[in-house]
Amino acid sequence: MGKARRKEREGVENTTSGDSKLYLEAPVLERKLLTELDMRMLVDLPAGLDYNEWLASHTMALFDHVNLVYGTVSEFCTTTGCPDMTGPSQRTYLWFDEKGKKTRVAAPQYIDYVMTFIQKTISDENIFPTKYANEFPSSFESIVRKIIRLLFHVMAHLYAAHFKEVVLLGLHSHLNLTFAHLTALHHRFSLIEPKETEVLRDLEIALRLTDDGSQESTSNAGDQHLQQTDSAADNTDSDSKNQVEESADFFSILNMFFNSRRLSKLKEFKANNFLGGEQKS
């Protein structure tokens, strides 16, 4: 009994036969706007672009979209209906405060904590700088990992507890697209532990975001993005210019997702690095 309770507190999956997964039914497995190729282009780090800047852009975009979808169904997420913060297969999430203390709270309270923490973090110029000359902190990637993990928890709860309402409001394709975006970013840069994402592994497969039965292809993603960043910084020839300029709709796609302040900074970077400006070292 003690071991079972301990696993539940740690957020380990507790499968029950009555766990309904409406989100896996064929009629709701749609994600509009982007093809798989577009999604890969969306998350691939452009040559010459700072890795932290790229992560910041995607993190803010995902926050905006998850917050938007949850806001439309938040009236259905109550302390009575959702006394625990749960995901698929009865996965339970506990909130960790600033001192590392674990607290079991109702889903709306947990999500309020998440959104408040993220909003405060991304609004901090010392963590998410919007001015070109400002530097990201050395701990930036770990902060992003925490944010992406927390956003995944919110999405897991939306799929497990409120997908019916999402469908009734006609927002399932938007939610699926946001999930595809988060999943593509995670797969590209290995941002979330596999034990976290396994609860929605079946949705990844159903949406064809990953191959059935295959292993996570992200074990070396951290090394890969560092290599790409290093090589991009040294690549000042015309090829680096063409990589961005050949995609005429590159920023049209980004406009669908990115926060306007972040997108302005990306465009400034593009102008300085690819359209006649000096390559930053």
For residue range 194-221, list pLDDT tens digits in order: 999 999 999 999 888 875 544 444 444 4
CB 65 within 8 Å of CB 154: no
Instruction: Give the model's pLDDT for residue 262.
Output: 53
The share of the chain scoring above pLDDT 90, in percent, equals 52
Measured over the CA atoms of residue 103, residue 109, residue 111 and residue 114, the dihedral's sign is negative
State how far the Cα of 142 lies from the Cα of 135, in Å rounded to an integer. 16
Give binding residues as ranges.
77, 82, 157, 162
pLDDT single digits (tens) 234-249: 443 444 344 434 433 4
- pTM confidence score: 0.74
3-state helix, strand, coil in the chain (%, to 5): 60, 5, 35
Instruction: Give the model's pLDDT for residue 111.
Output: 98
In what helix (H) or strand (E) does residue 260 lie, and over which residues does it extend? helix 260-274
**Does the domain made of 55-269 have the CATH classification 1.10.10.10?**
no
**Taking the domains of the chain in order of start, what are their residue ranges?**
55-269
In the chain, count H helices and then E strands: 13, 4
Query: Across residues 184-191, what is the average pLDDT?
Result: 94
Please calculate the CA angle 21-27-28 and round it to the nearest 5 degrees: 55
> Higher confidence at residue 10 or residue 140?
140
pLDDT single digits (tens) 66-122: 999 999 999 999 999 999 999 999 899 999 987 888 999 999 999 999 999 999 999
Instruction: Classify the phi-psi angles of 276: left when phi > 0, otherwise alpha if psi is within -120 to 50, otherwise beta.
Output: left
* Nearest partner of 201 among 40, 86, 88, 93, judged by Cα: 88
Give binding residues for Zn(2+) as ranges.
77, 82, 157, 162
